[in-house]
Structure 1
């Protein structure tokens, strides 16, 4: 049998029929078909039963984004399913909705830890660093020693004298990170969430205030970062930014040392840090 075309009407019906009425407090008796009834979905979505019925019948024209969001809630759709619903109903993804990040998966952390000579971090749309590997700690910043509120890249660049001094081209780096931060926050729908952070940085750092008021926008993408490291001296790193699949609120940034000798010296620092940590753990 040929599968029906993946239209909005067929998708809504398929999702509705997969739901268990008892799980939503509806009686399961006297039902001819599995799943919720159309009027029950409409009730959960707080929309007209007639309007919802028309949508499942392919009538009534294109629904609004608000209606699709209500239906997504009523049908208990996952985020990928909600995005697919918008593609079918409106032809484009839903507007980004920012969600605070509580952490990353153990699998993603294991990926970071596997990169022994390559500093790597995971940051949110508001540029808070929520995960890192040992190489990032020895080359860039020991994030574990900072309170979570201070693990913000912009705070480190503009308010931490050690981090600022380590940048070989502070002016260029500062302008770039502000422009890329603005784009990331807007893309993730976090414009409201960054208001306090921006206000605080403008009050503390005249450099940040000046660059923020320039309204420049840039993509993070790829590039080269040059640092004056306290132990390694001048070091050059190629960086690449990646989105985390299924988590548009997270970005993975990987810094690869350009010179082989720098990679080996990073390896030595990482292993020394790990040795000290093991000795401290054994002594405690």
Structure 2
């Protein structure tokens, strides 16, 4: 009997907690909606506006959700909510990270930290680690393949005639690999390697769906590269992992085969150090030739 009573009491308490969260959620959304003016989101104020903030239908429109659904959410009704929809509402209401986390808690949705990985900067400790790996190439990527930091050997490996140095003017390795000609692409087996990279990108995309930076990146690269657009439409998904890749340096050192290994970085969610080591003795000698080209 004691066990049954304890379980019943726990369920009752849990139900009371949920019952309290919904009115809190409703009040929180109304309060935050009142803070955002039409001018803040590029809308005309209009006539006969009873409140300086946004109307419910405006929040729904800007968030890409139905007015009825948003009204029910703001009324505190027990409806199911997805993280993607909460993210859209949070962006419309201009919530800061702590407010966004509070919104997730009130809506009873597992909170994920802000993943705007394009604003992450590499500190001197991480830069020092990848510099110490030279003469082995090393780079720090986020999950969108933005190049956050490199060492000189990485640039040696990715610079071929008529291309630019990744990390100097181009800040995303996918953008470089898909927008240069096949003859200038530093990766030898382009038709084999690039689909794997796109599948890895899509594996991360599911956690960022709806984020403006990600949606804009996919849209712009699809417009710039029909090949990328074709691979993206395939919907293939893959995690990052160790691979042997071949790089072309015909005029200087020939073909160089490198094993790549990804290492996660504490304190930098969805970022990884990718380190390259020669896959055979010939490739080790050819990397030395590249290194000699810059006097290292």
TM-score (norm 2): 0.57
SS state of the match for residue 219, structure 1? coil
Which residue number corresponds to residue 142 of structure 2?
A: 124
Q: Distance in 1 between matches of 2:154 and 2:254?
A: 16
Post-superposition shift, 1:190? 7.2
* Count of residue pairs the alignment pairs up: 204
SS state of the match for residue 141, structure 2? strand
Residue 246 (1) aligns with residue 287 (2) = no
Which residue number corresponds to residue 152 of structure 2?
A: 134
* Equivalent position to 2:121, from 89, 97, 103: 103
Q: Distance in 2 between matches of 1:94 and 1:172?
A: 33
SS state of the match for residue 201, structure 2? helix
Post-superposition shift, 1:153? 1.4
Q: Distance in 1 between matches of 2:207 and 2:136?
A: 27
SS state of the match for residue 275, structure 2? strand
Which residue number corresponds to residue 32 of structure 1?
A: none
Residue 224 (1) aligns with residue 244 (2) = yes
SS state of the match for residue 263, structure 2? strand
Distance change (3 Å), C-alpha of 1:272 and 1:165: closer
- Superposed CA RMSD in Å reads 3.7
Post-superposition shift, 1:166? 3.0
Which residue number corresponds to residue 157 of structure 1?
A: 177
Q: Is the 8 A contact 2:158 2:166 kept in 1?
A: no
Distance change (3 Å), C-alpha of 1:101 and 1:270: farther
Structure 2 unmatched ranges of 5 or more: 1-23, 30-80
Which residue number corresponds to residue 262 of structure 1?
A: 283
| Runs of 4+ residues over 4 Å off in structure 1 | 90-93, 188-191
Post-superposition shift, 1:143? 3.6
* Equivalent position to 2:226, from 206, 209, 212: 206
Structure 1 unmatched ranges of 5 or more: 1-41, 48-63, 75-81, 276-284
CA deviations 1:135-176 (Å, max 9, x no partner) are 1011114646732xx221111111023775432211111211
Residue 114 (1) aligns with residue 136 (2) = no
Q: Is the 8 A contact 2:254 2:286 kept in 1?
A: no
Q: Is the 8 A contact 2:177 2:185 kept in 1?
A: no
